[in-house]
Amino acid sequence: MKALPLLAALALAAPAQAQFNLRDLNVNRLVETVKNVGKATREPTQEEEIALGRDVAARLVGAAPLVADARAQRYVNHVGRWLASQTERADLPWKFGVLEAPQINAFAVPGGTVFITRGLLEKMGSEAELAGVLGHEIAHVLRKHHLKAIQKGALASLSGDVAGAALTNVNSEARHKLVAFGTEMYSRGLDKGDELEADRLGVVIAARAGYDAYGLPSVLQTLQAMNAADSAVALMFKTHPAPGERLDQLGKKMQPTLDAYSDQAQLQQRFLAETKASR
């Protein structure tokens, strides 16, 4: 179902493919399709992941620019980079940005770019809370959740050759469509399991970096108290499991970790000082 918009958008890219018409299916074509699927499932290299993420990030900052507050932007980069340093992908070119948007949301882009909105920043009260949210987004990058979803979408509609070209030829028509699809994915959301996994890993990453592990649950408590019909949270609620369910899952699976690292740093004062011009 998720692949439908992409199917429509990319129908032109694969005019010769007739896999949707069973009567046209013959053995030769089937063999060809299987070969192509094999090519398309090739894991993108780290360079390809970073380049694809950069194209998606360019569109996201095209949709909403960065908040004009250099101090807050540098601050969020310091917190985020410190968190990323505690992970198995510390060598990615990590970049963090606060987007000028009142909606409450955050976005992880393949290759190590993470955005949060001004609307979400305004709902937080400490560096530990910011770390919990950034940790969740970093986890999406670590586990390549968006990259895999983009690949899956491309696979469903592009032939293997075209999907391969979209990765290697950055000026191709297929590339533009892939990047547009990758950007629109933030309107559709990931699988629920990916979000819940990112919550669990986000708690661990924040704890590793020395923060109060309850930062992320604390933000989820704040979001849970908001009206789901509020236009500020509508997209975030549509693309994520309900905050109450996320809290239940963290309680079930992460209570020992949460409690073992609950007395670590919160750093409210530093957070409020560094972000005050954006709040």
Partner 1 sequence: MKLLLAVLFLPLLAWAEPATTIRAAELKKEPAIDAETLIELPENTAVDAAERKGGWVRVKARGSEGWLKMLSLRYGNPASAKKGDTGISQMFNVARTGSSGTQVTTGVRGLDEKELANAQPNASELAKLDKFAADADGAARFAANGKLGAKTVDYPK
Nearer to partner 1, 40 or 181 (CB): 181
Residue list 76-105, contact with partner 1 (CB under 8 A): 77-82, 85-86, 90, 93-97, 99-103, 105
Piece in contact with partner 1 (CB under 8 A), picked from 10-18, 25-33, 146-154, 257-265: 257-265
Residue 2's Cβ-count burial label (10 Å; 0-12, 13-18, 19+) is: middle
**Please, what is the minimum distance in Å from the beta carbon of residue 8 to partner 1?**
13
Nearer to partner 1, 142 or 147 (CB): 142
Residue 169 touches partner 1, criterion: CB under 8 A: no
Piece in contact with partner 1 (CB under 8 A), picked from 19-27, 152-160, 161-169, 246-254: 246-254
Which residue type is seen at 79?
V
Nearer to partner 1, 5 or 148 (CB): 5
What are the CB-based long-range contacts (under 8 Å, 24+) for 31-38?
33/159, 35/160, 36/159, 36/160, 36/161, 36/163, 37/155, 37/160, 38/160
Residue list 14-53, contact with partner 1 (CB under 8 A): none
Tell whether the torsion through CA atoms of 162, 160, 143 and 104 is positive or negative.
positive
Residue 170 touches partner 1, criterion: CB under 8 A: no
Residue 237 touches partner 1, criterion: CB under 8 A: no
Residue list 128-167, contact with partner 1 (CB under 8 A): none
Among 64, 150, 167, 216, binds partner 1 (CB under 8 A): 64
Piece in contact with partner 1 (CB under 8 A), picked from 20-28, 112-120, 157-165, 167-175: 112-120
